[in-house]
Amino acid sequence: MSKIFPKSANALPLQIVLFLAVAGTVATAAVTYWVTPKYTRVGYAPTQPVPFDHALHAGQLGINCVYCHTNVEKSEHSNVPSTSTCMACHSIIKKDSPLLAPVRASFETGAPVPWVRIHKAPDYVYFNHAVHVNRGVSCVECHGKVNEMQVVKHDQPQSMSWCLDCHRNPELRIRDSKDVYNLDSETLAAQGRLEEAIARVHDWKIKPPQSCSGCHR
Amino acid sequence: MRYVWLAFLFVVVAALSVLGFRGSLSTRPPLEVFPDMDHQAKYKPQQESRFFADGRTDRPLPANVVPRGRSVEADPMYLAADDHMFRGKTATGEFARGFPEGLEVSHEFLARGRNRYEMFCAPCHGRTGDGNGITKQYGMGATPTYHDDRIRTMAEGEIYNTLTNGKNTMMGYGDRLAVTDRWAIVAYLRALQRAQQGTVDDVKPANRPELGL
């Protein structure tokens, strides 16, 4: 009987096992690296209908976030401003700029400017801006240094484990109330005032939910 | 087998170059790996609606609606009946002087006014109310100073009305500031005016050396 398999085939089972092991490791690594909000969301910076620049308005001009995102400290939702907010200045400053044409059109007709939404929690998650902001959690903890962004990008993964990282240790991430809208400020802990932060978490009864029903209600 | 390894290497390199690294900028909407119940048939604030012709889920209020289930007895602010408080006017329709009843002009009230003033008015009117806010450099030339006699003697109600409904080239802030916050701003504006007129006599003798007086 002639040989069906060449001699080299003897090593084949071992090679197949080796290949599967390597391929499996690489596939696992790829999934942990890519199939996570750290990859899918972070860096998302869509092109907006109006090239609105936070680095100019919030950074250079120093306009407070609340001037535009007015509801952030009153309600669960942080609103994107109405066009009349922009027109307070832009009916005089750069009033003929072609870049602002959609804003003027919206102001005249009442139709909203189609801003592209960047941060979006899934519909089964309950999130509330006011509770965070009023308890000393600054925008920068969750949105990054917006005051230096010319185009807003998704800066943090905003996944469940990311929420919980803070909910387990809020004292490391809270700021003085007056620093909440100052994105260049540092947390109490980073200023070496950890004791004060721990005392505040205790005195203000800051108890971020860690049970499922806190966020999935 | 060598070809298998080469093909595998090719797949890895191709995946790396297509998918890139974490944190790289992208204008494409995020990939949803498990879209389970991310998008439910419910409306959240400022979302788009395909039902209403103007595409908004936030419906504008029809004229003259009032919230139901409340009463004037339980909440005097309900129905916004107080002319002084809500419109800055007296019963005869003139601008009212002084602050409405029920508002105590206290230290906290002024502190609140300062907080709101610096957020909403300072970009144009400046932190001291001299009209030289940051926007002056960019063309908001008309912003006046508060420190002239016309505004010093202006009725509180008229200032309230200006900041609620706007005046000439200034737009109103009534949609963004609660009624009590608007009065707090008026109080703080008065404080700013007073501060500009301060003299040595306003400083307690004990504190004068600190200022080198």
Residue boundaries of the structural domains of chain A: 7-35, 47-61+72-78+118-215
> Which DSSP letter does residue A75 get?
S
Q: With 70 as the cut, is the pLDDT of residue A175 above it?
A: yes
* Surface-to-core class of residue B74, CB atoms within 10 Å of its CB (0-12 exposed, 13-18 middle, 19+ buried): exposed
pLDDT at B68 over 90: no
The predicted pLDDT at position A111 comes to 84
Residue A118 touches partner B, C-beta closer than 8 Å = no
pLDDT tens, position by position, A128-141: 999 999 999 999 99
* Helix H or strand E encompassing B166: strand B166-167
Mean pLDDT of the region B140-160? 90
% of chain A surpassing 90 pLDDT? 77
DSSP B66-133: --SS--TTT-TTGGG--HHHHHSB-TTSSBPPSPPTT----HHHHHHHHHHHHHHTHHHH-TTSSS--
Task: Find the mean pLDDT for residues A51-56.
Answer: 94
Q: At what angle do helices A12-34 and B2-19 cross, to 10 degrees?
A: 0
Read off the amino acid at residue B49: S
- Across the interface, which of A42, A64, A93 has its CB nearest the CB of B22? A42
Pairing of strands B166-167, B170-171: antiparallel
Mean pLDDT of B170-185: 91
SS3 A41: coil
CB contact under 8 A, B27 and A123: no
Chain B positions touching A110 (Cβ under 8 A) are: 54
Q: Is B4 on the interface with A (CB under 8 A)?
A: yes
Residue A22 confidence (pLDDT) above 90: yes
The chain A residue lying nearest B4, using CA atoms, is: A19
Question: B176, A81 in Cβ contact below 8 A?
Answer: no
What pLDDT, on the 0 to 100 scale, is given for residue B23?
Answer: 82
Torsion of CA B49, A65, A103, B171, to 10 degrees: 110
Is the interface score ipTM higher than 0.90?
no
- Kindly report, residue by residue over A82-104, the tens digit of the pLDDT: 999 999 999 999 989 999 999 99
CATH code at B84-196? 1.10.760.10
H-helix or E-strand spanning residue A199: helix A194-203
The predicted pLDDT at position B29 comes to 85
pLDDT surpasses 70 at A1: no
Local structure of B176: helix, strand or coil: coil
Residue B24 with chain A: CB contacts under 8 Å? 43
Show residues of chain A in contact with B25, CB under 8 Å: 43, 45, 153
List the domain boundaries for chain B. 84-196
Residue in chain B lying closest to A18 (CA)? B5
Whole-angstrom distance, CA of residue B22 vs CA of residue B43: 32
Interface touch A15/B118, C-beta < 8 Å: no
Chain B residues in contact with A79 (beta carbon < 8 A): 45-46
Q: Residue B19: which pLDDT band, with cuts at 50, 70 and 90?
A: confident
- For chain A, give percent helix, strand, coil, nearest 5: 50, 0, 50
Contact B88, B96 (CB under 8 A): yes
Cβ pair B135:A44 closer than 8 A: no
Report pTM. Answer: 0.92
Task: Check CB contact under 8 Å for B142 and A92.
Answer: yes
The arithmetic mean of pLDDT across residues A193-215, rounded, is 92
Mean pLDDT of B171-186: 91
